[in-house]
Amino acid sequence: MSWPTASTLIAFIIVAAAVLIFLRIETWPMRTEQQSRAELERLGKDLRTAFVDVAHLQPRITINNRVYIEQSAPVGELAVVSRKIDVEHEFLHTWIGSSKRVKFRGTFTAKAGFDLQQHVTIDIRPTQILIQLPRARILGVEQDQMDVLVFENGLWNHISGADVQSELSILPQLARQKAAESDLPQEAERLLQQQLDGRIHAAQPLRLVFKNESDDWK
């Protein structure tokens, strides 16, 4: 090969390489954006699967403020944690010097979790995953056991069926109040965070925001 021919070939290779590098640089932002979008969409599918498994709910998912998946029909409530609650109540009534007294103790199971009739939204961004859902609350209390601690009739002031029914109706109210004043709702929120952290493995941080019904849900 003559020197002029070799020079021409080398020059052609240099120009071709320069054009190839220019095209790669020119299209790099577009390719990067496409790859980033694909990764965020894959993460959106993973989040949807995690919520369906944990809460039996498909949440509303947005990617960079664009709706990717709409929320499915609400499924009601999600109970996350339960705890035994013991309460006591006493009734004492005196009439013309005759006293009747009755005292009951009830054991209840209180359940805390989330009302999924409200909004559950997920916003996926390259910098973070933001999940908004209602604050945990006491979903219900179920009676497990009832004990009669005191049952004393007066000489002419006797305990009636209405007295007993009244006392029995008060105990569930006391159990719910005691559960609401405990840290059970906060424990439900912590457990849900742990469950999602264990299911979702993403490069960006996962942030849960628990909101009241009256809060702004933007």
User: For residue 23, what are the CA distances in angstroms to 12, 20, 31, 153?
Assistant: 16, 5, 12, 97
CA distance 80 to 68: 27
Q: How does pLDDT run across 93-149, given as a tens digit for each residue?
A: 999 989 999 999 999 999 998 887 777 888 888 888 888 888 999 999 999 999 999
Question: What's the rounded mean pLDDT across residues 184-189?
Answer: 92
Q: In the chain, where are the structural domains located?
A: 3-211
Per-residue confidence (pLDDT) for residue 215, from 0 to 100: 64
**More confident: 19 or 56:** 56
For the chain, give percent helix, strand, coil, nearest 5. Answer: 40, 35, 25
Which range has the top average pLDDT, 22-26, 37-41, 59-63, 172-176? 172-176
Q: To the nearest whole number, what is the mean pLDDT of the chain?
A: 78
**More confident: 197 or 180:** 180
CA distance 24 to 10: 21
Element (H, E) at 114: strand 98-115
In percent, how much of the chain has pLDDT > 70?
Answer: 74
CA distance 61 to 71: 7
**Local structure of 160: helix, strand or coil:** coil
Confidence of residue 72 (pLDDT cuts 50, 70, 90): low
Per-residue confidence (pLDDT) for residue 2, from 0 to 100: 52
Question: What's the rounded mean pLDDT across residues 169-193?
Answer: 92
Per-residue confidence (pLDDT) for residue 162, from 0 to 100: 92
Residues 6+ apart with CB under 8 A from 60: 67, 69, 70, 71, 119, 120, 121, 122
Q: Does pLDDT of 35 surpass 70?
A: no
User: For residue 212, what are the CA distances in angstroms to 72, 94, 112, 191?
Assistant: 21, 46, 15, 18
CA distance 62 to 121: 8
User: For residue 87, what are the CA distances in angstroms to 55, 144, 207?
Assistant: 31, 12, 37
Confidence of residue 55 (pLDDT cuts 50, 70, 90): low
